[in-house]
Amino acid sequence: MEKKASNGVRIAIIDYNAGNIASVTNALERFGIKYVVTRDAKEILSADKVIFPGQGRAKPAMEFLRENGLADVIRDIKKPFLGICLGMQLLFAASEEDETECLGIIPGTVRKFRGDMKIPQIGWNTITATKYDPLFRDVPDTLFAYFANSYYAESSDAYTVAASSYGNTPFAAVIRKDNFYGTQFHPEKSGLLGVQILKNFCELGTGTPKTLLVAPAIDIIGGKCVRLLQGEYDKQTTYGDDPALMAKSFVDAGAKYLHVVDLDGARKGVPENATVIARLIKKIAVSVQVGGGIRTIEDARFYLDTGALRIVVSTSALTNLEMVRALIAEYGPGRVVVSVDTRNGLVATEGWKKTTAETTESLLAKLTEAGVTTIIYTSIASDGTLKGPDYEGVGRILKTPFRVMVAGGITSIDDLKKLGGMGAYGAIVGKAIYEKTINIAEAVAAIPSPYISKTSAKPTRAVTKRVIACMDIADGRVVKGTHFKDLKDAGDPVELGRRYSDDGIDELVFLDINATVENRKTLYELAGRIAKNINIPFTVGGGVQTISDIRNLLNAGADKVSIGSAAITNPDLINEASQAFGSQCIVISVDPKKNSAGMWEIFIRGGLDATGVDAIQFCKDMERRGAGELLVNSLDKDGTKSGYDLALLKAISQSVSIPVIASSGAGTREHFAEALLKGKSDAVLAASLFHSGEIDIAELKKYLSERGILIRI
């Protein structure tokens, strides 16, 4: 299967009889990138890049690769290669999953998560860059990504590009060795930022259009806007009495980012204009980075918690590198910038008053080890001169593994274009704007700006709780009723799914509620249509009876498959499915109702037939057989809006170690919080409340976050 587009890049996607191939191909089609899904060695080795999608178990995947001669082919690849999830894990020497010998391209072992957390890890966790890599172009250094894994890669720092943690277990989220990349998460299912990472991989080495973040500078002394010449405080010019008003004028002219420095603070070692800067941050709509006198964690927290996207430290990077490490651990590297200010090859500190014995090269080595990813390079001799940047020095700095902003001497738009062409991330422009040799509006129009966010996620050590929208499907339309009766049309499933994805929902579930009753197959075509239109995970269920059903749904683009009646009538299917595809793909739909004896009894066939099976024991059995997640639909609560069945949820959650999704009964925001806190659920699901707009998804997630619930916002 080959798709063509005008883009000159050609991607080979390795077809190894498993994997989320449809999700990857859908993303590439949205980019207009040519690809071929293949097992042919010549096609793989001749491609510009290779993607190895991942879904399933290690042993059958490696057996397939060896039997088809693909293991050696992968080892021989010289072009950029990306392994996703299992595709990344197979790059390592071995895996504890089925005691599998893997490809051995990267040293290390893939191990199973152990501890009191829910396994598999399913949901959104943060990844944090440990070093800058082109894979993170136009992407924050800390972002939420979607994981579905029971196993993790132990990797040395030498190969780790981004890290994550689950419980007390740190693991590699992104790895790189030479041309081989791997992501433990699913970029194609991690929203816009995750998809951007996939796009960045596809564009490696293609000479993509250069961007540059043009950041007008506002330097403050005594509450006023000033500029210094070569850092000399007795050579200053005042350009305005109100920094906030100056900032507004820059933003009105088109600036997308501002660089603000407390020069009094830089000289004295403590913030002197913090109140003025805080007022500025709150008054403008674009992101701001702040520097000057930030020598303590408390000072840094003040600015970051006030709303600054980044803080800039200079002196502290030399005198208190532990503080820099601590801030990166708390806020992520994307929010901590180190200013490398040089005079004759040596680093200057304390507002440039002191030239140290530290060379630029030795400081950069220390910053790399500390996890810094973004620096500002300033040639003090060029600063304020309007004679052009130190291009020679900039060229040397751009060879180091950092996202680099350049300051000092920038005079014209041609300077900005040249810096962008060289690969600089940003340019800090001061005097040239005030002296009108650079017009902000013209600069922004002439040079594309990289993606920049007003906010950034903090690193977490756990997956977030998830908010899931459910769409019950009948005759290809979304419906909703009470106790599966009195069904009313609620819209087109693809359109609703796309809207929910745009609104920030964490996952989607599509259940064909008539499939079992009418003894017909789940609509594979619908799964394919959905996959082409969204970039977040979704589950499909209804009428799933066989391994073939599951494979067809996964191949169509579904991330997980929900199994209901068949889990009762043919429980061995769960064993077979988890062995074939991995437990992270298998969701069990649990439909209990309290009977006259006080037992939560499982019902099947859309809630029509009682089974006599105890729901708690059933859930334990499903976990033993390899299920990865439980979708608990209380038939007593369905459609009532009286709240989730908290007693049922708590009983199940405390009986198993796999994630539990709460379903049926939500009516208010409080009900969602109760299911997560009192019901011990890992996710909350609703349908009609979202379809009708009765509860806004963004407002619900904000409400949950304000109650101390870890949530992706």
Among 673, 659, 671, 660, which residue's Cα sits nearest to residue 702?
673
Give the whole-angstrom CA distance, residue 643 versus residue 239.
60
| Cβ partners under 8 Å of residue 238, min gap 6 | 224, 225, 226
Residue whose structure tokens are 């700006």: 449
Strand 34-38: give its sheet, edge to edge.
2-3, 34-38, 10-14, 49-52, 81-84, 180-183, 169-177, 160-166, 121-129, 142-149
* Extended strands (E) in 424-484: 426-429, 466-474, 477-482
**Token pair recorded at residue 519:** 């003894």
Residue 110 β-bridge partners: 95, 153
Residue 639 β-bridge partners: none
**Token pair recorded at residue 308:** 């600054």
Query: Is 4 within 8 Å of 34 (Cβ atoms)?
Result: yes
How many Cα atoms occupy the beta-carbon half-sphere of 523 within 13 Å? 21
One-letter amino acid at 176 equals R
**Token pair recorded at residue 296:** 């303590």
Q: What are phi and psi of 349, to 5 degrees?
A: -135, -175
Query: Is 359 within 8 Å of 335 (Cβ atoms)?
Result: no
Orientation angle between helical segments 321-331 and 360-370, nearest 10 degrees = 40
**Token pair recorded at residue 337:** 């910038």
| Cβ partners under 8 Å of residue 121, min gap 6 | 113, 147, 148, 149, 150, 166, 463
Residue 641 β-bridge partners: none
Among 203, 179, 123, which residue's Cα sits nearest to residue 681?
123
Q: Cβ–Cβ contacts within 10 Å for residue 511, how many?
A: 25
* Dihedral angle computed from the Cα positions of residues 675, 679, 680 and 685, in that order, rounded to the nearest 10 degrees: -40
Name the burial class of residue 456, with classes exposed (0-12), middle (13-18) and buried (19+) by CB atoms within 10 angstroms of its CB.
middle
Among 708, 653, 161, which residue's Cα sits nearest to residue 462?
708
Task: Report the alpha-carbon angle 424-195-85, nearest 5.
Answer: 110
User: DSSP letter string over 629-665?
Assistant: EEEEE-TTTTTT-S---HHHHHHHHTT-SS-EEEES-
Q: What is the DSSP letter of 711?
A: B
Give the whole-angstrom CA distance, residue 48 versus residue 33.
11
Give the whole-angstrom CA distance, residue 584 versus residue 586.
6
Region for residue 588 given its phi and psi (left: phi exceeds 0; alpha: psi -120 to 50; beta: otherwise): beta
Q: What are phi and psi of 482, to 5 degrees?
A: -120, 125
Give pairs for 603-609: CB < 8 Å, separation 24+: 603/635, 604/516, 604/564, 604/565, 604/568, 604/569, 605/516, 605/517, 605/565, 606/484, 606/513, 606/514, 606/516, 606/517, 607/483, 607/484, 607/635, 607/638, 608/517
**Token pair recorded at residue 151:** 């196993």
User: DSSP letter string over 429-441?
Assistant: E-HHHHTTSS-HH
Give the whole-angstrom CA distance, residue 256 versus residue 254.
6
Catalytic residues: 472, 591
Rg over CA atoms, the chain = 27
